[in-house]
């Protein structure tokens, strides 16, 4: 296994905005804490104020020379958020196209008719499969509808240790019934909230499965793909460079960046309560609150990572480097 020198941008300067738009979800997965689904923050009271604050954030970054933005929406379950359409509309108005992106992480509980009406809002769609709650036929119908319409469509199968075989079987069903597929067999965490550790799978066959099946892909139907859709690349010690595979970084144990320089000014995480924080891992300061109309343009440029491991795929895409290569990403 090669060591990584740095994570570098795959394109010109870009900003990641990861937005947990609410903390309400219609699923109650056992590995997901109440923090993610209780509905304390639905964030749909003052939609114009939220839209205006997003505009101020994007104008700030554009003034600093950032052309491209990736807006990644999650929850809770973001497809039930009342502000979804106006927020995405404002984002699409202000971002540079082609080159920017709107992504969403959803449990595919909405009917196919919802996606027929709204799929144009998103370039990237990640449909998370939860064995305890997902309806297999409904999930698969949505996946089939989207399979030739997105730059990036991924089925992220959450590999619950008690339902592992069911998860494997569902992945096989996608492969058998879909022409295009991208499947991530995602190890779950002890609890889906910041700074928790990956679940320890104590059965060897499950660990062996991850070693050979972290990600599988097939494409037989042409799609309209933006060639710049990759956001970050991995720079290895032999000077080879490849597009980042965030799931593989976790399963191959490469997500240890303690002591590296991490450019957290490239990433904002908006929490369900509206707080705007630099980076999703919690090391950056709070720089505003989007539901209160607050945004402080004075931000930390970079930090020397204090975390034992990086747990968030969004943070993997932030440019970062070992100390001896830090000047290459400043």
**How is residue 119 annotated by DSSP?**
G
State the number of CA atoms in the 13 A half-sphere of 55 facing the CB: 11
Query: 171: how many CB neighbours lie within 10 A of its CB?
Result: 20
**pLDDT tens per residue across all 330 residues of the chain:** 578 899 988 777 789 999 999 999 999 998 888 878 877 777 777 899 999 999 999 999 999 998 899 999 999 999 999 999 999 999 999 998 888 999 999 999 999 999 999 999 999 999 999 999 999 999 999 999 999 999 889 999 999 999 999 999 999 999 999 999 999 998 887 554 444 555 678 889 998 998 888 788 888 877 655 544 567 888 999 999 988 777 677 767 788 899 999 999 999 999 999 999 999 988 999 999 999 999 999 999 999 999 888 877 778 888 999 999 999 888
Q: Give me the domains of the chain, ranges plus CATH numbers.
A: 9-223+265-298 (3.20.20.70)
Of residues 217, 208, 194, the one with CA closest to residue 147 = 217
User: Residue 229: what pLDDT?
Assistant: 54
How far is it, in rounded angstroms, from Cα 159 to Cα 34?
A: 20
Residues, the chain, total?
330
pLDDT at site 190: 58
Instruction: Give the DSSP letter of residue 221.
Output: S
- How far from each other are the two terminal CA atoms of the chain, in whole angstroms? 27
CB-neighbour burial class of residue 220 (10 A; exposed 0-12, middle 13-18, buried 19+): exposed
Find the helix packing angle between 164-177 and 136-146, rounded to 10°: 40
């Amino acid at each position: 296994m090669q060591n990584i020198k740095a994570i570098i941008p795959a394109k010109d300067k870009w900003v990641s905005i990861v937005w947990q738009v609410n903390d309400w979800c219609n699923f109650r997965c056992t590995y997901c804490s109440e923090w993610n689904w209780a509905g304390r923050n639905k964030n749909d009271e003052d939609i114009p104020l939220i839209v205006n604050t997003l505009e101020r954030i994007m104008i700030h970054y554009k003034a600093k020379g950032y052309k491209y933005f990736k807006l990644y929406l999650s929850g809770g379950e973001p497809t039930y958020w009342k502000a979804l359409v106006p927020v995405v509309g404002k984002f699409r108005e202000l971002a540079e196209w082609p080159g920017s992106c709107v992504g969403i992480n959803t449990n595919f509980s909405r009917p196919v008719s919802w996606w027929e009406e709204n799929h144009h809002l998103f370039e990237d769609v990640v449909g998370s499969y939860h064995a305890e709650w997902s309806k297999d036929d409904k999930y698969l119908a949505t996946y089939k509808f989207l399979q030739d319409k997105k730059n990036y469509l991924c089925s992220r199968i959450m590999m619950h240790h008690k339902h592992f075989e069911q998860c494997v079987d569902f992945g096989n069903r996608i492969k058998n019934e879909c022409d295009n597929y991208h499947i991530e067999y995602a190890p779950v965490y002890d609890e889906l909230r910041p700074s928790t550790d990956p679940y320890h799978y104590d059965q060897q066959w499950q660990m062996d499965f991850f070693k050979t099946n972290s990600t599988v892909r097939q494409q037989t139907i042409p799609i309209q793909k933006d060639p710049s859709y990759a956001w970050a690349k991995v720079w290895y010690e032999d000077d080879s460079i490849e597009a980042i595979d965030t799931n593989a970084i976790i399963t191959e144990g490469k997500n240890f960046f303690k002591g590296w320089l991490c450019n957290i000014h490239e990433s904002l995480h908006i929490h369900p309560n509206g707080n705007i924080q630099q980076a999703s891992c919690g090391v950056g300061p709070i720089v505003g609150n989007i539901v209160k109309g607050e945004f402080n343009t004075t931000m930390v440029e970079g930090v020397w990572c204090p975390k034992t491991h990086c747990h968030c795929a969004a943070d993997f895409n932030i440019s970062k480097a070992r100390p001896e290569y830090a000047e290459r990403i400043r």
